[in-house]
């Protein structure tokens, strides 16, 4: 019985699991580059803003 209690005590501590495959997980990482750094203005809004600016310049030129 004591052996069984000792065994149960040991096994009771197990959350039986393992380390992750960190080498593979690393493959999913994005690298910080000029292309993926934080953009606060969506691209389409930038285009719209640019179009407005061009239009305004045309008007200003008369």
Partner 1 sequence: MTFVVTVKVTDGLVLAADSAATFLIPHPTGVIAKIYNHANKIFNLRKVWPIGAMVYGSGSIGAASVETLSKDLRQKFSDPHNAEYHLDENSYSIEEVAIKARKFLYEECYLHAYQQPPPDFVMGYRVCGYSAKVDLPEIWEFLIVGPDCLPPFSVQGRNDFGLRWAGENEALDRLMFGATSGIQNWLVQKGFVQPQDARAVYSEIINQFSAPLSLPAMPIQDAIEVARFAVETSAKYAKYGMRAETIGGPIEIAAITKHEGFKWVARKHYYSADLNRETNHGR
Binding residues vs partner 1 (CB under 8 A): 4, 7-8, 10-22, 24-32, 36-38
Task: Yes or no: say if 36 and 30 are a contact pair by the CB < 8 Å rule.
Answer: yes
> From the CB of 49, what's the least distance to partner 1, in Å?
21
DSSP H/E element including 6: helix 2-12
Find tokens 């305004």 and name the residue: 56
Cβ proximity to partner 1, 26 vs 59, nearer residue: 26
The single-letter DSSP state of residue 29 is: P
Cβ proximity to partner 1, 10 vs 59, nearer residue: 10
Cβ proximity to partner 1, 20 vs 62, nearer residue: 20
């Amino acid at each position: 019985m004591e052996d069984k209690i000792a065994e149960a005590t040991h096994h009771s501590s197990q959350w039986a699991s393992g380390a992750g495959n960190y080498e593979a997980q690393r493959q999913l990482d994005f690298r910080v580059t000029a292309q993926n750094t934080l953009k606060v203005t969506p691209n389409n809004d930038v285009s719209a803003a640019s179009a407005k600016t061009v239009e305004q310049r045309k008007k200003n030129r008369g």
